[in-house]
Amino acid sequence: MELTKYLPLTETTYYILLSLLEPAHGYIMMQKVEQLSNQKVKIAAGTMYGAIENLLKQQLIQAVESTDKRRKTYVITEKGKDVLQLDCERMKHIVNVTEKLLSPIGGIEDV
């Protein structure tokens, strides 16, 4: 399966997937995204539920059983974890290249 077709993840999607390393419902996910992003990413309810639908279709998350019958609970899938890891590696590369190029002794030939 070619996972790179899901890349790059948007910042919002990245944080949503991170928030689902433990099962959570939409409101908890919204709170976790804010916390993980140091309050830089805030997701409105409509945006969150649209993102959930897309992630379910892509099979990056799945619904799980919950004791709270009023709310649906979700968790990241193994496929979702693989995509998250790939995007993390992609961003690490970007940061490494940028740091090398911006350093006083760096240059394009060093990358």
Asked, for residue 54, whether it belongs to a domain, the answer is yes
Q: How many domains does the chain have?
A: 1
Which pLDDT score is estimated for 67?
84
Q: At residue 106, does pLDDT exceed 70?
A: no
Domain containing residue 30? 9-110
Q: Is residue 89 part of a domain?
A: yes
Identify whether 3 is part of a domain.
Answer: no
* Tokens at 91, concatenated: 């961003």
Asked if residue 107 has pLDDT above 80, the reply is: no
Residue 66 lies in a domain: yes
Q: For residue 55, is it within any domain?
A: yes
pLDDT value at residue 66: 86
Kindly report, residue by residue over 2-55, the tens digit of the pLDDT. 999 999 999 999 999 999 999 999 999 999 999 999 999 999 999 999 999 999
Q: Answer for the pair 31, 47: CB distance below 8 angstroms, yes or no.
A: no
| Domain presence at residue 4 | no
> Distance of alpha carbon 47 from its chain centroid, rounded?
14
In terms of Cα–Cα distance, which of 1, 11, 32 is closest to 88?
11
Q: Is the pLDDT of residue 111 over 70?
A: no
CA–CA dist 54, 90 (Å, integer): 22
Residue 20 CA, chain-centre distance (Å), reads: 9
What CATH code is carried by the domain that includes residue 55? 1.10.10.10
* Residues 68-91: tens digit of each pLDDT: 888 999 999 999 999 999 999 999
Per-residue confidence (pLDDT) for residue 109, from 0 to 100: 65
Residue 2 lies in a domain: no
E strands in the chain: 24-25, 61-64, 73-76
- Does a structural domain hold residue 83? yes
